[in-house]
Amino acid sequence: MIRVVIADDHPLLREGLRRILEFEEGIRVISEVGDGQGAINIARSTPFDILLMDLNMPGVNGLEACRVIRRERPEIGIIVLTVDDSDEKIFQVLQLGVAGYLLKDVIPKTLVDSIRKVYAGEPILAPSVTGKLLGQLTNSNTPKNNFGLSNREMEILTYVVKGSSNRDIGISLFISEKTVKNHLSNIFRKLEVEDRTQAALKAVKLKLIQLD
């Protein structure tokens, strides 16, 4: 059972999300909170798997709550659900290592699929967010330090930035998912990051990859 907590200051939106999720097999909304401090409090007191987090909330905002929860409960998969797709906000949030960034106009099926993917360990990004990341890459002509990454690791990092899953990367490169995971472990170590979201963000910020 995937246990979900909803953090949003709009009661109608929380109710709408609950209604969407309560009909999904294997997903249960265990609590709703209206601000960032509420999200922090429940993360400290209650076991759950996925946190749907708004950013713009009164008191402790979603960004600060993400920072605290990531530090204290890194096993919780945080999916930011917001109307804000500004470059500044996207990069602020992704630097924290959240598992997903979706916009509030996401269709219910995509939301449900995203929850299941994050629960399975696969980070997700809204298409517009991925586009912004790729835009940063394609506009780069700066010489790069590749941190000792091999050609194969650079290939895999490119797919990570595109949002590809381990399975898709394996199919594209004709290697097993286990081999992809091994390469990812080496990539994370060399880039000194903890997960693929942070790896993608670092690749963008340091202009490691040039896309055509």
Mean pLDDT of the residues in the chain: 87
Q: What is the mean pLDDT of residues 55-84?
A: 91
Answer whether 187's CB lies under 8 Å from 208's CB. Answer: no
Q: What is the DSSP string of 83-149?
A: S---HHHHHHHHHTT-SEEEETT--HHHHHHHHHHHHTT--EE-HHHHHHHHHHHHT-------TT-
Q: Work out the angle at residue 40's Cα, subtended by the Cα atoms of residues 35 and 45, and round it to the nearest 5 degrees.
A: 125
Whether pTM > 0.75 for this model: the answer is no
Please say if the pLDDT value at position 99 is more than 90.
no
The pLDDT, as a whole number, for residue 191 is 92
The pLDDT, as a whole number, for residue 210 is 62
Q: How many Cα atoms within 13 Å fall on the side-chain side of residue 167?
A: 4
Burial (0-12, 13-18, 19+ Cβ within 10 Å), 177: middle
Q: Which residue has the higher pLDDT, 20 or 95?
A: 20
The pLDDT, as a whole number, for residue 96 is 81
The pLDDT, as a whole number, for residue 139 is 53
Please report the domains of the chain, with CATH numbers, ordered by start residue.
2-125 (3.40.50.2300), 132-205 (1.10.10.10)
Torsion sign (Cα): 68, 103, 166, 93: negative
Please say if the pLDDT value at position 90 is more than 80.
no
The pLDDT, as a whole number, for residue 142 is 47
